[in-house]
C-alpha cells in the first residue's frame, strides 16, 4: 500500500491508534501492547467479514479468502514499515 493512495483521514486514524498504543506502552510492556493490537485488529477484521454475511455458512465459505487477504495485507505493511525503519534508522534513533 503506497502512502499516496490514502487520504488524510486514513493517516489521522492510524496516528490515533499508534498514539494510544504508545500511551499504553508507558504502563505495559511493548510486547503486551503489540499483542493487544494484533488481537484487536483480528477481532475487528473478523467482525468485518461477519458483518458482510447473511448466515454463518457465508462466513465459513469466505473464511480462507479473508484469512489470505488480511494475512497478505499485514505481511506487506510489516515489510514496508521495517524497510522504512532500515532506511531511516539513524534518523529515528538520533
From first to last of its 94 residues, the chain has per-residue pLDDT tens of 445 578 999 999 999 999 999 999 999 999 999 999 999 999 999 999 999 999 999 999 999 999 999 999 999 999 999 999 999 999 999 8
Q: Are 11 and 1 in contact (CB under 8 A)?
A: no
pTM assigned to the model: 0.84
Q: Which residues contact residue 80 at a Cβ distance below 8 angstroms, ignoring those fewer than 6 apart?
A: 1
| 56-87 and 30-51 helices, crossing angle to 10° | 140
Q: Tell me the C-alpha distance between 25 and 31, whole Å.
A: 9
Amino acid at each position: 500500500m503506497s502512502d499516496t493512495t490514502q487520504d488524510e483521514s486514513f493517516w489521522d486514524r492510524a496516528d490515533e491508534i499508534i498514539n494510544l498504543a504508545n500511551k499504553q506502552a508507558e504502563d505495559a510492556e511493548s510486547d503486551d501492547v503489540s499483542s493487544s493490537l494484533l488481537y484487536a485488529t483480528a477481532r475487528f477484521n473478523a467482525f468485518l467479514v461477519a458483518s458482510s454475511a447473511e448466515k454463518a455458512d457465508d462466513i465459513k465459505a469466505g473464511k480462507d479468502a479473508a484469512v489470505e487477504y488480511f494475512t497478505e495485507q499485514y505481511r506487506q505493511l510489516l515489510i514496508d514499515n521495517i524497510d522504512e525503519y532500515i532506511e531511516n534508522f539513524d534518523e529515528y534513533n538520533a
